[in-house]
C-alpha cells in the first residue's frame, strides 16, 4: 500500500508572516490537495529569545485567510517543535552512541586560532575536525558534532534536479550546543521523522542544509524525504526580500485591502506560470495545473504594482453585493474615517458600482466616498490651488451654482447645467469639472462626478460650493 504523501510547512514565529513563506505554504498546500495527502503545520518555536505568541497567531490567521486551516481534512496541526525537545536530545545521544557524532570542547576562538596557525586564515575558517578522535564525552560547554563521512552527497531535488555536494567542503556540524539544546538541523530532521514527513518543499536558501539533513536522516536509520527547493523572492533591486528593508508582511497587505484570492493567485505566479494567455485564474485551476517540475530556478520579482493590478481585477470581478460586503470593515467600525452615525449604507450602495471599477485596494474606498458622509469635505490645498488658478474658475462655479439651485437634481440634469456653462465660456466639460469636483469632494480625483452630487443633495452641494468660493476669496 502506497504511503500517504505528507508535506509540511514549518515557520518560525519571529515576526510578521512573510509573503515568501506564504507562497511556500501554498505550494505545499496545493501538493497535498493534488495527491490527497496531508499538509502538516509545525511551528518551530525553539528560539525563546525571538519567539512571540503574537507572531504564532499571526501565522495561523494569515494561513486561514489564505484558506489553509483545519476546516479542510488535508490539514494537520499546528504542532510545536518545543514539545519535541526530549526527542531531539535522544536522537543526538543515539548518534553519539553509534559513533556518528562526537563531542568537542573547542570554542569559536580556538577554531579561529587553529586556522591561523595552520596558515589557512585566508581560507574558509571552519572547524578542522580536531576532536574527532579525542574520545570526549558530554560535558559543560561541549558541543556535539556530526561526523561528516568522506565522499559526496547527492540531493535529488524536484526543482533543481540532481545536486552534488563534496563532503570535504562540509565541516563536522553541530547537533547539540554547549547547553545541550538542539540546533535547527537536528530538530528539523527529528520532527520530520516523527511526523512522517515524505516531502520537504521550501525556499532555495535551505538547499545548503539539505546534504547535512540527509546525512542525519540516514544516520538515524531513515530514508530522507523528497526535496524541492524553490526560488526566493526579490525586490526591484533583485535583492532577497528582507523584513527589515522591504514590505513583506501578509498581514499588512491584508489590512490594505488585498483580497485573499488575489494574493493567492499572484503568489502562485512567482516562479511558476499557468498555461494560457492570462495569469488571472481561479485557485481551483491553479491547483489542478501546478507542477514542481515547472517551477523556475531563478529568483522571482515580488512586484507590488503588479499585485495591485491583480487585486483590481479581482475587485472588478466581484458581484456588487460581494464588493459592498468586502468594503464594510473600511466603512464601519475602527477603520472608518467618519462618525458612525454619519454613514449611510444605502448611499454607499448607490455609489458602489462607480467605486468598484476604480480602486485597486479596499483601503482606497473611504477616500473616494468620504465626502458623502461628512458635513464639509477636507479640501486638499494643492488640488484647490490648481483647480481655482484659472481666472474663469470662480466665475463659472458661481454660474454652475446658480443652475444647481433650480434644476432637477439628477445626474443628467446636473451635467446639462455644467455643459451649458461650458458652452458659454468655450470650456470643455472635463476642464470645467475640476473646480466643482474640488469644491464638492475636497480632491481632484474620484468617481464620476454627477452621480455623487445627486446623492449628496441640493442643500449640501450648494453649501460646499459656497464654502469653496469663500475660500477662494
pLDDT in tens, 126-167: 798 999 999 999 999 999 999 999 999 999 999 999 999 999
In the beta sheet, which residues pair with residue 145? 102, 174
Which of 113, 116, 120, 243 is flagged as catalytic? 243
What residue spans define the domains of the chain? 319-365, 381-472
- Residue 134 and residue 142: Cα distance in Å, rounded? 13
Task: For the domain covering 381-472, report its CATH number.
Answer: 1.10.10.350
Q: Is 243 a catalytic residue?
A: yes
pTM: 0.91
Read off the pLDDT of residues 81-109 as tens digits, 9 standing for 90 and up. Answer: 999 999 999 999 999 999 999 999 999 89
Q: How far is CA 338 from CA 31, 77, 332, 373, in A?
A: 45, 41, 9, 7
10-residue mean pLDDT profile of the chain (473 residues): values are: 90 92 98 98 84 89 97 96 95 98 94 80 68 94 97 96 96 95 95 98 96 98 97 94 91 97 97 89 95 94 97 98 96 84 93 96 94 88 93 94 96 96 94 94 91 94 94 74
Question: Please, are residues 192 and 8 in contact by the beta-carbon 8 Å criterion?
Answer: yes
- Residue 285 and residue 10: Cα distance in Å, rounded? 26
Amino acid at each position: 500500500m502506497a504511503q500517504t504523501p505528507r508535506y509540511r510547512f514549518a515557520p518560525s514565529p519571529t515576526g510578521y508572516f512573510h509573503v515568501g513563506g506564504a507562497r511556500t505554504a501554498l505550494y505545499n498546500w496545493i501538493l497535498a490537495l493534488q495527491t490527497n495527502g496531508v499538509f502538516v503545520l509545525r511551528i518551530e518555536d525553539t528560539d525563546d529569545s525571538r519567539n512571540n505568541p503574537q507572531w504564532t497567531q499571526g501565522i495561523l490567521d494569515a494561513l486561514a485567510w489564505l484558506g489553509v486551516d483545519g476546516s479542510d481534512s488535508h490539514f494537520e496541526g499546528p504542532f510545536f517543535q518545543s514539545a519535541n525537545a526530549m526527542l531531539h536530545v535522544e536522537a543526538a545521544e543515539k548518534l553519539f552512541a553509534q559513533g556518528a557524532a562526537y563531542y568537542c570542547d573547542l570554542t569559536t576562538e580556538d577554531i579561529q586560532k587553529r586556522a591561523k596557525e595552520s596558515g589557512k586564515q585566508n581560507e574558509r575558517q571552519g572547524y578542522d575536525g580536531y576532536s574527532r578522535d579525542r574520545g570526549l564525552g558530554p560535558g559543560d560547554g561541549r558541543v556535539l558534532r556530526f561526523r561528516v563521512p568522506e565522499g559526496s552527497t547527492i540531493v535529488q531535488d524536484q526543482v533543481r534536479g540532481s545536486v552534488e555536494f563534496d563532503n570535504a567542503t562540509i565541516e563536522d556540524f553541530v547537533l547539540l550546543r554547549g547547553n545541550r539544546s538542539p540546533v535547527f538541523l537536528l530538530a528539523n530532521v527529528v520532527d520530520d521523522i516523527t511526523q512522517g514527513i515524505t516531502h520537504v518543499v521550501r525556499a532555495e536558501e535551505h538547499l545548503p542544509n539539505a546534504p547535512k539533513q540527509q546525512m542525519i536522516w540516514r544516520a538515524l536509520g531513515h530514508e530522507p524525504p523528497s526535496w524541492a527547493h524553490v526560488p526566493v523572492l526579490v525586490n526591484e533591486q533583485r535583492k532577497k526580500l528582507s523584513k527589515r528593508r522591504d514590505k513583506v508582511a501578509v498581514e499588512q497587505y491584508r489590512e490594505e485591502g488585498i483580497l485573499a484570492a488575489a494574493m493567492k493567485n499572484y503568489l502562485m505566479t512567482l516562479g511558476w506560470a499557468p498555461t494560457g494567455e492570462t495569469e488571472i485564474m481561479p485557485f481551483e485551476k491553479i491547483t489542478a495545473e501546478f507542477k514542481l517540475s515547472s517551477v523556475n530556478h531563478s529568483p522571482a520579482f515580488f512586484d507590488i504594482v503588479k499585485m495591485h493590478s491583480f487585486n483590481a481585477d479581482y475587485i472588478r470581478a466581484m458581484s456588487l453585493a460581494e464588493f459592498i460586503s468586502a468594503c464594510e470593515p473600511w466603512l464601519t467600525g475602527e477603520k472608518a474615517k467618519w462618525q458612525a452615525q454619519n454613514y449611510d449604507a444605502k448611499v454607499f450602495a448607490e455609489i458602489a458600482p462607480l467605486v468598484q471599477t476604480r480602486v485597486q485596494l479596499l483601503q482606497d474606498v473611504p477616500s473616494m466616498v468620504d465626502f458623502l458622509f461628512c458635513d464639509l469635505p477636507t479640501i486638499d490645498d494643492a488640488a484647490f490651488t490648481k483647480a481655482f488658478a484659472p481666472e474663469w474658475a470662480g466665475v463659472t462655479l458661481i454660474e454652475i451654482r446658480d443652475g444647481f439651485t433650480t434644476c432637477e437634481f439628477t445626474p443628467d440634469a446636473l451635467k446639462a447645467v455644467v455643459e451649458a456653462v461650458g458652452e458659454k465660456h468655450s470650456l470643455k466639460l472635463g476642464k470645467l469639472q475640476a473646480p466643482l469636483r474640488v469644491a464638492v469632494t475636497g480632491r481632484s480625483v474620484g468617481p464620476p462626478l454627477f452621480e455623487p452630487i445627486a446623492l449628496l443633495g441640493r442643500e449640501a452641494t450648494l453649501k460646499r460650493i459656497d464654502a469653496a468660493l469663500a475660500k477662494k476669496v
